[in-house]
Structure 1
Amino acid sequence: MTLNVPHAEEPTTAGVSKREHFFRSPLVLRLAARELRGGIRGFAVFLLCLALGVAAIAGVGSLARGLTEGLAREGRTILGGDASFSLMNREATDAEKAAVASHGRVATVVTLRSMARVASGDAALVELKAVDASWPMVGQATLEPARPLPELTGQANGSWGAAVDPALLARLGLKVGDHLTIGSSSFEIRATLASEPDRLSEGVGFGPRVLVSEQALRASGLIQPGALIKWSYRLALPEAARGDEAVTRATSEIERAAPDAAFEIRSRGNAAPQLERNVNHFTEFLTIVGLAALVVGGVGVANAVSAFVDRKRETIAALKSVGASGFTVFLIHLAQVAALGVLGVAIGLVVGVALPFAAARALEGVAPLPLAPSIYPETLALAAAYGALAALAFAVWPLGRTHDVPVAALFREQVAPTRRLPRWPYVAATAALAVALALLAVYAAYDRRIATIFVGATVAVFVALRLIAWGIMRLTAHAPRPRSAELRLALANVHRPGALTPSVVLSLGLGLVLLVTLTLIDSSIRRQISQELPAKAPAFFFLDIPSGERDRFAETVRAAAPKAELATAPMLRGFIVSLKGQSADAANVDPEYRWALRGDRGVTFSADVPEGSKIVDGEWWPKDYSGPPLVSFEKKLGAALGLSVGDEIGVNVLGRTINAKVANFREVSWETLGINFFMVFAPNAFAGAPYMNLATLTLPNGGGDKQEFAVMRETTQAFPSVTAIRVKDALASIGEVVRSLGLAIRAASGVTLAASILVLAGALAAGHRRRVYEAVILKTLGATRGRLLAAFAAEYALLGLITAIFGLIVGSLAAWGLTAGIMGIDFAFDPLGAGLAAVGALLLTIALGLAGTWRVLGEKPARHLRNM
């Protein structure tokens, strides 16, 4: 045995305690450095787990910062100006336009959904964008072939010009030079539209883009009172007055000059708020994935440190025999673990720094995201703090157990291992570090509620897994002794001192719970989209049906589909401006429901309770009601907004604020995809107001593609201004988004799963030395290789099976809570997916467990006995 200890002539300072002497002198660091010269054998899992978690947190944080700063830097280009003033359903008045134009140049952008038709009768839903001659004021649109915008969109030979998304050409079998009809106007396709500088600010649409001129839109007949059209007026301030203060001042002055306009105002600082919110939420999810990897990796840290202490017991015994205190031994090995922790964190930070640069290169030319990769010290410091706290929290406990172990016990630990809790300072230090890690996770989170749930769930799973391990050991210790020698050995290995049971159950259980949870969430979403919704959903949604044309529209639909069920309802757009007399902006609303106060929402009016709704609080108004305005609210949203029956809300519709009292609350069956709204008003609230109708069409027995296309052809030709949304196409688009999101989530969660596999391998490797020792002794006593393999396989199968059952149960409960409680969809248990995850975990446990002892079982015992 080689022992690195100080020379005997190094005296102890008089009057100073032995602990103080070792703590003050560089001896601890010298001994730690000498031990590290022998290499870092056994710490591969330690380093990989720590690096994985830190890399995930640092990379995700840096990527989000890069995207956020890119949005801020390119905000003016993304918005198309310094500020945007938008209205829904109506064009700004001349006075309102003048108020905006008084501060700089203005470009008008009009967006709506419509149907594009070709001579063959085929039609497709498109996102129509009409612009004036000033667009784009910032940035450039990419057209193929490139040509001036006035030439591109102007009128020639009886047709207006248009630039279209290449996807529309593929969908309708068109090419540049062909014609299509939108509304009542004919358009010649003069170019394809490769990119728009302000595309991100307008969100994601359901159809391909068609770019036309404002004059062409006015000539198309699509602009009708109450039509779902968004008018945006982009303001570019003079170059000398483009500071943030100037933008704030200009928007305030415009609001004062046009107080009744009720503009939706955005500045270049929040050019794409929905994208930023999505980035923040997805960043939080990925950060939690990184934290989960760190927590799982923390088990690997504890296993590696335990194995490290086991390998060093002769050195520890020698140090104690020459006078080293337990605290000194702890410090020496803590210094080594800390040095390796610094290395693991450094590796993770290097990978995390490289991630946003790699992402920027991968996304170049694929997604129009303004990613600005850079090195962000605050983000890296946060990731390093996470890594350091996780490493120390899981290392102090196993290191602390060496403090009070006597020299004699260390020497005989091979056959009689001691198991006792460390002293209370080490227990307190572990608890303090764990609390610090949890507080940091909550404090640094974008949504602290979700972070708190994650921390609580992690603690609960840890405790549950530890109890499961304890229960397994107690049950096997008191179980009847089987007649089979292999089974007796397997049961003994499960509960004996130094058993792998706690480490295997904890490391395997954490990863399996996450895998089952993600699998079942994914299957629930897929089932909701691909199986349940199409069976209940209508075949079409029809938008912008003029109120005077509703009866003729119904006759046309019934002629095309005589047995179909048609439902109609009036539809307007409005946004909440006040709650109980208080401005909606100042209302204290659950962040999960803040979306209801951002932008406009569909509203309707009805004399009867809408189909699919049930009154749960309050009373519905009489059919001939003529009193003050009343409104019915969807129950969950009303509760989230803090409303009760009798409270007053203000809703701006068509530029006019309607103050209405809440008459009742409804439960709504949204999953039917029927016509329903969060807010339903009494009919007299909108007496004389222009509005359009929304309709749904349900075909008998679900219809078919042939019948659906026939209905679309007849309705779009007879009513050019009506927009037909085929539900199957919309669901397919949503399904594609969900599949892409699910793939991204599973890929990101692979970090945690990789950490789980590493930790499981590390846990089994930590007991490798003892397992080899036992195998050699048993072979010496006559045990065959086959019987030993059967015993070990039975042990690992038992641990894997019980842990797999736990993972299935807890993962299923977690998936149910997330889908039903947070996502609001029906939980669908997928026995195949969950079963495959459990069987895979079981086989992995057996395979990794047997891999460690396979080689030694085929060799002669003598060579190993000489090295014992």
Structure 2
Amino acid sequence: MPSLSWTSARRIAWREMRSSKGKFAFVILSVAVGVAALTGVRGFSGAFRTELLIRARSIMAADLAARMFAQPTPKEQEGLEAMEREGLHLTAVTEMVAMASAEHSLDPLLVSLKAIDPAVYPFYGTVDLTPKAVLRNVLHDDTIVAAEDLLIRLNLKVGDRVKIGDGLFTIAGVVTNEPDRLSGSFAAGPRVIITRKGLEDAGLIAEGNRSNERFLFELPARSSDQQVAAWKERLVALLPEAQVTDYRETNPALTQGLDRATGILSLMSLVALVLGAIGVAMAMRAHLQQRMDTIAIMKSLGAGSSQIMRIYLLQTILLGTLGGLLGVTMGTAVQRFLPVLLRRLINVQPPFTLDWHAVGTGLTAGLLTTLLFTLPPLLDIRKVRPILILRRAVEQTDEPIHKAFWARLRSNWAQLLATVVILLGLSLIAATLSDSAQTGRTFAVGLGGVLVALLAAAAILLTVLRRFLRGAGLALPSAIRHGLANLYRPGNPSAALLAAVGLGVMQITTVFLMQQAVVRELRIVSSPKIPNIFLVDIANSEVEGVRKVLTSQPGVTAEPELIPVISSRITSVNGVAGKDLRLTNFPRRMLQSIQLTWSDELPPGTTVLQGEWWKPETTVPQVAIGQRMSQRLGVTLGSHIVFSAQDKPIDAVVAAIIKSDGQHAYSRAEFILPRTPLQGFPVVWYGGAHVDPKKVGQLERAMFLAYPTVTVIDVAQALETIRQVVLQITVVIQFLSAFSIFAGMVILASSIAGTRYRRIREVVVLKTLGATRSRIVTVFSIEFAVLGLVAGFTGVIFATVVARFLQRQMSIEFHLPWITDLAMMAGTAVMAVATGWIASHHVLGQKPLEVLREE
């Protein structure tokens, strides 16, 4: 046979595709669904995450913030000006306490002042006012806006005037929500917002007045997470005495939600990729084995393996391209219409933009995975022996499966090389999709390990089944025995199919389990029962009375949380005096104002990251320290911290490193000790409770009448914003997980259905020997069901192991999902039977003579 040109190879490939449209529909469908899930999930999740990050920025009103207790030095000011020239925008926010009184009253009231530049502040988000207005339009040098409790306490209304320092200011509006409320200081007294010029005119900026300077920074447009981190590092180096935070540190619940959403959405993208590859591999393998007769004839006419491989390589590229184009179209449609479907649920409308990079990534991933996973069947062409194929001979062996396996392993070095190439290619794709080389390597190694384990498990199960049928199997009904024996009949790719379906089940189950775990955690932090108002400066004698006031209010919907606070300072850490400590991103003067609290039990919303919590009856001075504070002080488990309260030293050993969800009263407690070591010290109590946002004003009035010295800090609207964002993350994760799972089920179904061409000759032989339709249906149904059960069993076992590992990495509590596992096993069996017969039912109508004439 003369040399086969690429043009001729393309014609043959296209002619064969046109004559076998049904078979190639499985390949195109597998590629299309995988690419559609990849581009749709990745495209929408990327746009959704961008919108969420904008929300996260609005909770801090900036990209970065630096809290200081002094004005920048000339050198620091020079560095900030240099950053401004590079595109960084900044504005200063001064926070301090002051005395305020009504214009015609001598009764002063302690208030929490916040001085801003209304022309710039806030960079993100808005300050909500009543009556509705834009902050910059109503806040001038002679006006203020204030929280409702100021009006309640001073019996004022909008339009009245208040004396603050040396100035008189008109109340221009009531603040109902400010974007950075959670990142600002929680000083005692009602919140009052004033201009910076108004603060100067009031004469409150003077030597000896204590103020808190917070600098807000807006980065150049479209700054990535890496750029934000780089700017932050520069600010930390420039302002060593400042606490520098970025928008992802504003609220632990939101940060945790974003991180976990990113992780699960990235996982779904990779799962879609692998599931598509599984479908391609199974469908192409079935097709090439169906074409062995044609290949043998071409070889007998003088065609070389390389020439024949050229035909099927072009066929693979064409199929991958068609499937990729169809998948990108479907994925783009998903990205376009998904926000419309979810609009009412998440109230977020990410802008639709055709991301050509995502389109290119989807096409490339689809084509590359198609090529990678068709390498092994393409290499099988080299081993086709025309004389054996033409005689319809099938090589058989009576050797045990494990011996035959090792023999094939030694002779199939090219297949091993192809497997390595596949893993390297998937590693590259995974690294590209996740923007992490480490993720790519981990993904490839994990996938390779799971594939090997699944193949080994399939081989072992088939060996056990074979031995069982040789012994006790004779007692089984013949139809059941025949159906089970079909799993290891010559030419049946049971091990490969079990491994492929098992891997698919594992991927789908892993996504489902991770989605369930992440959503469960997000629902905890988005619970409507977490505190949304906080109480400051409760005297020891007022605790029970405050608790009664809270529980008696109709708007309070959860048990109040009250915590004791003892003022202290840190004198040394591990024997090093406080003045000599090397601190990270923590002003040294803050060592003089440390707040201690006690708790015998692990507080709500708190997680132990390292170490363990003490027993309630312990008397040994121990301390549980917040993770961020431990990094700033440079302490670890076993470190000694000496606190001084009322000039009495407390030498405590670090027993636990903890992390708070930021939603409870204990969230601002960085140092928690057992009760006994803190007995006898003066205590001030703080509290928190969840109140219906519409009834916060009613609670403030009741608390003011009963305990006028207790300050109620309303953060209900700020926390409700966070809660809504977390709920939106939950809905999107659930919806996209369902989409990925559905895509995976379609691909798995097409993989099982792709084996229908193997059954035609067997059905004909059985019919020729006198088998009835019901007999054939019973035999095949048993084979499909066992295949599904075994694949489901191995898949859910590996999924449970993988999910447990991933949840541990994400600090999520693991729950054994035995109900889910049983449901997945049963569901896989049902799916295997259903899809097997949906694709193969017409095989029963095949007339024996039609096939026997081909023999």
TM-score by length of 1: 0.66
- Say whether 1:395 aligns with 2:374: yes
State the Cα deviation string for residues 360-416 of structure 1 (Å, max 9, x = none). 777899767785835344x54444443333222210101111212111222344866
Residue of structure 2 equivalent to 1:300: 279
Residue of structure 1 equivalent to 2:480: 487
- 1:182 to 1:145, Cα distance in 2 relative to 1, 3 A: closer
- Say whether 1:772 aligns with 2:760: yes
- Say whether 1:51 aligns with 2:32: yes
The unaligned stretches of length 5 or more in structure 1 are: 1-7, 11-20, 113-126, 165-178, 224-228, 239-244, 586-595, 652-659, 684-689
- 1:275 to 1:387, Cα distance in 2 relative to 1, 3 A: farther
- Say whether 1:828 aligns with 2:815: yes
Question: Which of these residues, 815, 825, 829, is aligned with residue 838 of structure 1?
Answer: 825
CA distance in structure 2 between the partners assigned to 1:138 and 1:803 by the alignment:
54
Give matches, 1:176-215, under 5 Å: 213-214=193-194
- 1:389 to 1:813, Cα distance in 2 relative to 1, 3 A: same
Please provide the CA RMSD for this pair. 6.6
Residue of structure 1 equivalent to 2:537: 546
Residue of structure 2 equivalent to 1:694: 686
1:797, CA displacement in angstroms?
Answer: 1.5
Residue of structure 1 equivalent to 2:103: none
- Say whether 1:513 aligns with 2:506: yes
CA distance in structure 1 between the partners assigned to 2:146 and 2:670 by the alignment:
38
- Say whether 1:433 aligns with 2:418: no
State the Cα deviation string for residues 17-70 of structure 1 (Å, max 9, x = none). xxxx55x77554454344445464412232232233334444555557768999
1:517, CA displacement in angstroms?
Answer: 3.2
CA distance in structure 2 between the partners assigned to 1:249 and 1:767 by the alignment:
56
CA distance in structure 1 between the partners assigned to 2:504 and 2:725 by the alignment:
26
Residue of structure 2 equivalent to 1:753: 741
Question: Which of these residues, 568, 582, 596, is aligned with residue 564 of structure 2?
Answer: 568
Query: Do 1:143 and 1:163's aligned partners in 2 also have CA atoms closer than 8 Å?
Result: no
1:743, CA displacement in angstroms?
Answer: 3.8
- Say whether 1:847 aligns with 2:834: yes
User: What amino acid maps onto 1:87 in structure 2?
Assistant: R
Question: Which of these residues, 298, 301, 321, is aligned with residue 322 of structure 1?
Answer: 301
Question: Which of these residues, 375, 378, 395, is aligned with residue 355 of structure 2?
Answer: 375
The SS at the match of 2:771 is: coil
- 1:484 to 1:751, Cα distance in 2 relative to 1, 3 A: same
State the Cα deviation string for residues 503-547 of structure 1 (Å, max 9, x = none). 44234323332343344445556666879999xx99858735127
Query: Do 2:183 and 2:250's aligned partners in 1 also have CA atoms closer than 8 Å?
Result: no
1:484, CA displacement in angstroms?
Answer: 1.3
- 1:582 to 1:493, Cα distance in 2 relative to 1, 3 A: farther
CA distance in structure 1 between the partners assigned to 2:327 and 2:12 by the alignment:
27
Query: Do 1:634 and 1:665's aligned partners in 2 also have CA atoms closer than 8 Å?
Result: no
User: What amino acid maps onto 1:467 in structure 2?
Assistant: A
1:200, CA displacement in angstroms?
Answer: 10
- 1:739 to 1:763, Cα distance in 2 relative to 1, 3 A: same
Larger mean Cα displacement after TM superposition, 499-508 or 308-317? 499-508
- Say whether 1:763 aligns with 2:759: no
- Say whether 1:815 aligns with 2:796: no
Query: Do 2:144 and 2:173's aligned partners in 1 also have CA atoms closer than 8 Å?
Result: no
Give matches, 1:449-598, under 5 Å: 449-479=438-468, 480-524=473-517, 543-546=534-537, 549-557=539-547, 566-570=562-566, 584=584
- 1:754 to 1:77, Cα distance in 2 relative to 1, 3 A: closer
User: What amino acid maps onto 1:826 in structure 2?
Assistant: E
State the Cα deviation string for residues 692-743 of structure 1 (Å, max 9, x = none). 8533689xxxx999x999988754653586347899x999998876664344
CA distance in structure 2 between the partners assigned to 1:526 and 1:803 by the alignment:
27
- 1:528 to 1:348, Cα distance in 2 relative to 1, 3 A: closer
CA distance in structure 1 between the partners assigned to 2:811 and 2:520 by the alignment:
14
- 1:230 to 1:761, Cα distance in 2 relative to 1, 3 A: farther
CA distance in structure 2 between the partners assigned to 1:846 and 1:338 by the alignment:
32
CA distance in structure 2 between the partners assigned to 1:161 and 1:403 by the alignment:
82
User: What amino acid maps onto 2:771 in structure 1?
Assistant: A
The SS at the match of 1:546 is: strand
- 1:560 to 1:289, Cα distance in 2 relative to 1, 3 A: closer
1:314, CA displacement in angstroms?
Answer: 2.8
User: What amino acid maps onto 1:546 in structure 2?
Assistant: D
User: What amino acid maps onto 1:680 in structure 2?
Assistant: F
1:304, CA displacement in angstroms?
Answer: 1.6
- 1:135 to 1:623, Cα distance in 2 relative to 1, 3 A: farther
Residue of structure 1 equivalent to 2:223: none
Query: Do 1:604 and 1:677's aligned partners in 2 also have CA atoms closer than 8 Å?
Result: no
1:359, CA displacement in angstroms?
Answer: 6.4
The SS at the match of 1:695 is: strand
Query: Do 1:299 and 1:506's aligned partners in 2 also have CA atoms closer than 8 Å?
Result: no
- 1:850 to 1:26, Cα distance in 2 relative to 1, 3 A: closer
User: What amino acid maps onto 1:770 in structure 2?
Assistant: R
State the Cα deviation string for residues 811-845 of structure 1 (Å, max 9, x = none). 233333333x1233432334444433332222111
- Say whether 1:264 aligns with 2:244: yes
The SS at the match of 1:43 is: helix
The SS at the match of 2:275 is: helix
1:350, CA displacement in angstroms?
Answer: 4.4
User: What amino acid maps onto 2:498 in structure 1?
Assistant: V
- 1:331 to 1:612, Cα distance in 2 relative to 1, 3 A: same
Question: Which of these residues, 787, 790, 801, is aligned with residue 799 of structure 1?
Answer: 787
- 1:26 to 1:111, Cα distance in 2 relative to 1, 3 A: farther
1:561, CA displacement in angstroms?
Answer: 6.0
CA distance in structure 2 between the partners assigned to 1:211 and 1:783 by the alignment:
87
The unaligned stretches of length 5 or more in structure 2 are: 97-111, 160-170, 205-210, 221-226, 398-403, 553-558, 644-649, 675-681
Residue of structure 1 equivalent to 2:100: none
Query: Do 1:512 and 1:807's aligned partners in 2 also have CA atoms closer than 8 Å?
Result: yes
Query: Do 1:579 and 1:648's aligned partners in 2 also have CA atoms closer than 8 Å?
Result: no
Query: Do 1:52 and 1:755's aligned partners in 2 also have CA atoms closer than 8 Å?
Result: yes
State the Cα deviation string for residues 575-601 of structure 1 (Å, max 9, x = none). x9x99977748xxxxxxxxxx99xx99
Larger mean Cα displacement after TM superposition, 346-355 or 511-520? 346-355
User: What amino acid maps onto 2:736 in structure 1?
Assistant: A
CA distance in structure 2 between the partners assigned to 1:601 and 1:62 by the alignment:
47
CA distance in structure 2 between the partners assigned to 1:533 and 1:251 by the alignment:
31
User: What amino acid maps onto 1:474 in structure 2?
Assistant: T
- 1:523 to 1:182, Cα distance in 2 relative to 1, 3 A: farther
User: What amino acid maps onto 1:768 in structure 2?
Assistant: R
1:496, CA displacement in angstroms?
Answer: 0.6
The SS at the match of 1:45 is: helix
- Say whether 1:348 aligns with 2:348: no
CA distance in structure 1 between the partners assigned to 2:256 and 2:525 by the alignment:
29
The SS at the match of 2:382 is: coil
- 1:462 to 1:723, Cα distance in 2 relative to 1, 3 A: farther
CA distance in structure 1 between the partners assigned to 2:219 and 2:565 by the alignment:
43
- 1:451 to 1:283, Cα distance in 2 relative to 1, 3 A: farther
Query: Do 2:260 and 2:810's aligned partners in 1 also have CA atoms closer than 8 Å?
Result: no
Give matches, 1:731-746, under 5 Å: 740-746=728-734
Larger mean Cα displacement after TM superposition, 69-78 or 425-434? 69-78
CA distance in structure 1 between the partners assigned to 2:329 and 2:440 by the alignment:
26
Query: Do 1:570 and 1:691's aligned partners in 2 also have CA atoms closer than 8 Å?
Result: yes
CA distance in structure 1 between the partners assigned to 2:40 and 2:595 by the alignment:
50
CA distance in structure 1 between the partners assigned to 2:698 and 2:669 by the alignment:
32
- 1:400 to 1:709, Cα distance in 2 relative to 1, 3 A: same
TM-score by length of 2: 0.67
User: What amino acid maps onto 2:369 in structure 1?
Assistant: A
